[in-house]
A and B are shown apart, each in its own frame.
Chain A
């Protein structure tokens, strides 16, 4: 079973991963975006770690809803409301339970991913974070490591895609050949989840 501490470790690992990869995320965001993805997420996740330390929610749902709310408030770019909605909806789906099973997390995360698709209007194949998140949630039934691998492969698979959502979509065919920064950061988030699970 996964408790609040597990979810705090997940987000701490995500903060470290975003911090480590911020320059690469911004670099990926330069040719097809506005070159702020790394610094925006870095600001958001640093704020998430700070608020979790300060308020220390007692349930998995509490950790994720607080983190999501903090991302919406602090990121400053489109990834704020998108990642914020992902974590908040996942957290709300987990409810008040003090511990949740891996299957419950997988189901909740699917609710979160669905909410992101509704909010942003993106579908698989549009060259967005959805292309990493959907395969990850599909693989979560197998294992956390399988989800991390699926997310990473999903992010790599965005390279030949033409963007149909967000600023990159204005570039049309010129968006082809670049790995999507949002899918890349989503793979970091799922990778951090697998990392937290390995520490169990």
Chain B
């Protein structure tokens, strides 16, 4: 634990995570992957919000808001999004001011790697800033 100020015992409130994708299957699969890789830590409040309400490709503001409310434990919410409409919808909802719970934040991160980093970090009881930093850092893992 390099930063004891940010990492708790797991007794306090956990950061919630919402995965917003243009596709329901992508959001659900990435959530499943991240949860599996989080291993033995606390069970992070995590919800996928992919596709339209009818299950088609697209983005649903209702699904995003519902997912955010379902993972809100009062410690903030990190939202990760993949393509254009997913990112724009989250940004527009944040600009509304009252649609998403307080402490909701769009995290600028690669979708899959960022989700894994965020969930693993949140499961250690880290705060929202630390969860965001871990997700953003996933951009720096070069593959070539």
Q: Which residue of B lies closest to A169 (CB)?
A: B84
Which chain A residue lies CB-closest to B91? A119
Contact status A80-B91, CB under 8 Å = no
What A residues does B95 contact at CB under 8 A? 85, 115, 119
Q: Does B37 contact A (CB under 8 A)?
A: no
| B60 contacts A by Cβ under 8 Å | yes
Decide: A81 near B92, CB < 8 A? Known: A76-B52, A76-B85, A167-B84: yes
A81–B58 contact, CB under 8 A? no
Question: A69-B96, A119-B95 in contact; A76/B88 too (CB < 8 A)?
Answer: no
Q: Does B93 contact A (CB under 8 A)?
A: yes
Total count of chain B residues near the partner, CB < 8 A: 18
Interface of chain A residues 47 through 95 with chain B (CB within 8 A): 69, 72-74, 76-78, 80-82, 84-85, 88
Q: Check: A166 CB closer than 8 A to any chain B CB.
A: yes
A77 and B92 contacting across the interface, CB-CB below 8 Å? no
Q: Say whether A31 faces chain B, with CB atoms less than 8 Å apart.
A: no
The size bracket of the interface on A is 20 to 34
Most B CB atoms within 10 A — which of A74, A80, A88, A119?
A: A80
- Determine the chain A residues whose CB is within 8 A of the CB of B93 once the complex forms: 72, 81
Docked pose: A166 CA to B89 CA in angstroms: 14
Q: Inside 8 A of B56's CB, which chain A residues have their CB? A: 76
A36 with B58: CB separation less than 8 A:
yes
Q: Return 24 A-B CB contacts under 8 Å, by A number.
A: A34-B57, A40-B58, A69-B96, A72-B96, A73-B61, A73-B62, A76-B58, A76-B59, A76-B60, A76-B85, A77-B58, A78-B85, A80-B61, A80-B85, A80-B88, A80-B92, A81-B88, A81-B91, A81-B92, A81-B93, A85-B92, A88-B96, A119-B91, A119-B92
Could you tell me which B residues sit within 8 Å of A by CB distance? 52, 56-62, 83-85, 88-89, 91-93, 95-96
* Given A73-B61, A76-B52: 16 more A-B contacts, CB < 8 Å: A36-B58, A72-B61, A72-B93, A76-B85, A77-B59, A77-B85, A78-B88, A80-B59, A80-B61, A80-B88, A81-B88, A81-B91, A82-B88, A119-B88, A119-B95, A167-B84
